[in-house]
Structure formats: structure tokens, C-alpha cells
């Protein structure tokens, strides 16, 4: 009865593999214009620090528009918990979206 276990593992692997492209699409569409294609910064700061924030702090930042010290972000940083990502029709980002977004940040070169 090893077969069902293998199928489960395969499904999990496939899901994990799909997380990164989703994060890339979210980043390119919603963030790169201000934070740079490589997260190096532009209108907004570089995102190297944020890539290393704990998942909880990063998720709080995206949902509540506050930094790692719980200080509200200044405009023009959007409040994603209110606006939602592009294409999500105003729905707050999901935990899976935020996780794959931060996963993608960790792959950037920041320069
Ligand atoms: C219209 C421009 C703009 C867009 C689009 C934008 N940001 Fe920002 N972002 C900013 C600005 C400006 C700041 C600095 C705010 C401040 O200093 O209070 C910032 C700050 C941040 C910070 C805090 C960085 C730190 O080290 O303190 C994070 C994390 C962040 N943005 C992530 C994102 C993500 C992820 C997206 C896409 C989902 C995004 N931003 C889209 C402008 C933008």
C-alpha cells in the first residue's frame, strides 16, 4: 500500500513547485514598478530585508500595511489588505499568495 503515499507526495511536490511562479506573477504585476524588477528598490525601498522577515511579520506587512516595527507604511505603498492584488477583484491577499510572494522575494538578487 505504498502507492497512495507516493501519490500524496507527488501532489505536494507539484503544489510546492507551483508556488514560485505564482509569487513571480504577483510580484511583477503588483510590486516591481516601485520596488524594482530585482527587488533593488526604486520609488519604494529595496526588499532584501523584507525577504528575510518571518512569514508572520511579512504577512502582517502586506495585510495591514505596517512595517516590521508595526509602523504604518507611508503612501504610495498600497494597502494590499484593502485593495487586493491585481486580478483578485478587491479580495484581501490569501495566505498562499503571501507565502509564494515572499518565496519569490527570496530568489531575487536585489541589485
Ligand atoms: C506605488 C508604489 C509601490 C508599490 C506598487 C508597492 N510598494 Fe511597497 N513600498 C512603497 C513605498 C514608498 C514604501 C516605503 C513606505 C514607508 O517608508 O513608509 C514601501 C515599503 C514596502 C515594504 C517595507 C520595506 C522595509 O524594509 O521597510 C515592503 C515589505 C513592501 N513595500 C512590499 C511591497 C510588495 C510586496 C508590493 C507588491 C505586492 C509592493 N510593496 C508594492 C511603494 C510601493
> Residue 63 Cα, ligand 1 centroid: separation in angstroms?
12
Ligand 1 touching residue 102 (CB < 6 A): no
Segment 61-87 mean pLDDT: 97
Q: Are 39 and 48 in contact (CB under 8 A)?
A: yes
CA distance 17 to 5: 18
Q: What pLDDT digit, counting tens, does each position of 50-70 carry?
A: 999 999 999 999 999 999 999
> Per-residue pLDDT for 1 more than 70?
no
Residue with the smallest CA separation from ligand 1 atom 40 is 31
Q: What pLDDT digit, counting tens, does each position of 11-53 carry?
A: 444 444 444 579 999 999 999 999 999 999 999 999 999 999 9
Q: What pLDDT digit, counting tens, does each position of 85-103 carry?
A: 999 999 999 999 999 999 9
Residue with the smallest CA separation from ligand 1 atom 1 is 76
CA distance 8 to 28: 31
CA distance 94 to 109: 25
Ligand 1 touching residue 47 (CB < 6 A): yes
> Residue 16 Cα, ligand 1 centroid: separation in angstroms?
26
Amino acid at each position: 500500500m505504498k502507492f497512495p503515499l507516493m501519490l500524496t507526495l507527488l501532489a505536494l511536490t507539484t503544489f510546492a513547485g507551483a508556488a514560485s511562479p505564482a509569487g513571480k506573477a504577483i510580484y511583477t504585476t503588483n510590486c516591481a514598478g516601485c520596488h524594482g524588477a530585482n527587488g533593488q528598490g526604486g520609488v519604494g525601498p529595496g526588499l532584501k530585508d523584507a525577504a528575510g522577515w518571518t512569514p508572520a511579520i511579512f504577512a502582517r506587512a502586506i495585510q495591514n500595511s505596517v512595517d516590521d516595527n508595526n509602523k504604518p507604511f507611508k503612501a504610495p505603498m498600497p494597502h494590499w489588505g484593502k485593495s487586493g492584488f491585481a486580478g483578485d477583484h478587491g479580495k484581501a491577499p490569501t495566505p498562499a499568495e503571501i507565502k509564494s510572494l515572499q518565496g519569490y522575494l527570496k530568489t531575487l538578487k536585489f541589485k
